Amino acid sequence: MSQPFIELDGVVKRFHEGEPGEFTALHGITLQLARAQVHVLAGPSGSGKSTLLSLIGGVARPSEGRVRLDGAPLSGLPEHHLAALRRERIGFIFQRYHLVPGLTALENVRLPGVPLGWPRERLQARALQVLAELGVAPRAHERVERLSGGEMQRVAIARALLTQPPLLIADEPTAHLDAALGRQFLDTVATLKARGHTWVIASHDPRVIGAPVVDRVIHLADGRLRGEDAPC
Ligand SMILES: Nc1ncnc2c1ncn2[C@@H]1O[C@H](COP(=O)(O)OP(=O)(O)OP(=O)(O)O)[C@@H](O)[C@H]1O
């Protein structure tokens, strides 16, 4: 592999460290993930998928070990640098979308651009562009609580794409999608992969794990790597 896009080196994550309820969720994960590929973290509930995503996304820090994104050592960065890197380089897609009710689809999609200080016109144009790419431009001015589940998810993906982040992280993205919407999500994954985006998706959905667009399925159990499926 050329320079890996994401590198984890001996990553341990403990919760409630030093307290009576201390719990080790990840036990020394070493992993390299290539650019412009789709990586799925699979494993039963509680195996550590979301915890690993949060470390790769720079939302949490490892208790031991290192995480690097495109050569940058996330684990050592001061919080304000880490927050800036997250905003510019990582798009997050959550199981329950985390859209802000009361705001329109367009206002939700604009949100990640606000702290970047983009001029209003640029922000508006880019937000409309990503909504159009996801096929939800006609719903741009609708409040998000009035959208269908599939529309909400496409708005959530549009929001994650606003800043064109190279890394897209999704936690159980198909958990609430029916068969047709699940396929639509995987088509979006494929389109963005072809444009060079790297995906890391936590999922135990067989539709995702078995999808042809997926390059690697990395299995976790009890916070440890348990091998991989061969690429399709
Ligand atoms: N903030 C926390 N404090 C204490 N324990 C935690 C915390 N977050 C996660 N854990 C524990 O770490 C383990 C891994 O949790 P994690 O959410 O990463 O698993 P998962 O594989 O994503 O599960 P699921 O598929 O149910 O989302 C679980 O035993 C969980 O209870």
For residue 117, pLDDT beyond 90: no
- Condensed to tens digits (0 to 9), the pLDDT of residues 141-164 reads 999 999 998 899 899 999 999 999
- Percentage of the residues of the chain whose pLDDT score is greater than 90: 69
Which carries the bigger pLDDT value, residue 38 or residue 119?
38
The answer to whether 51 and 8 have CB atoms below 8 angstroms apart is no
Write the burial class of residue 186 (CB in 10 Å: 0-12 exposed, 13-18 middle, 19+ buried): buried
Averaged pLDDT, 18-33: 94
The C-alpha atoms of residue 63 and residue 28 are separated, in whole angstroms, by 10
The reply to whether CATH 3.40.50.300 applies to domain 35-61+79-229 is: yes
Q: Phi then psi for 58, rounded to 5 degrees? A: 70, 20
Strand locations in 34-71 (E)? 38-42, 64-69
Ligand 1 mutation target, pool 49, 201, 218, most atoms within 8 A of CB: 49
Look at residue 43 in the predicted model and tell me its pLDDT.
94
Q: At which residue do the structure tokens 């699979």 appear? A: 42
Span 78-97, average pLDDT: 89
Q: How far is the CA of 73 from the centre of ligand 1 (A)?
A: 24
Using the atom order of ligand 1, give the atom closest to the CA of residue 41.
21
What share of the chain in percent tops pLDDT 70?
97
Residue nearest to atom 17 of ligand 1 (CA): 50
Best residue among 23, 24, 41, 56 to mutate for probing ligand 1's pocket (most ligand atoms within 8 Å of CB) is 23
Q: Residue 230: is its pLDDT beyond 80?
A: no
Confidence of residue 100 (pLDDT cuts 50, 70, 90): very high
The pLDDT-based confidence of 76 (bands split at 50, 70, 90) is confident
Q: What is the pLDDT of residue 193?
A: 96
Tens digit of pLDDT for each residue in 166-220? 999 999 988 877 888 889 889 989 999 999 999 999 999 999 999 999 999 999 9
ipTM: 0.96
Tell me the pLDDT band of 232, cut-offs 50, 70 and 90.
very low
- Which pLDDT tens digit goes with each residue over 120-134? 999 999 999 999 988
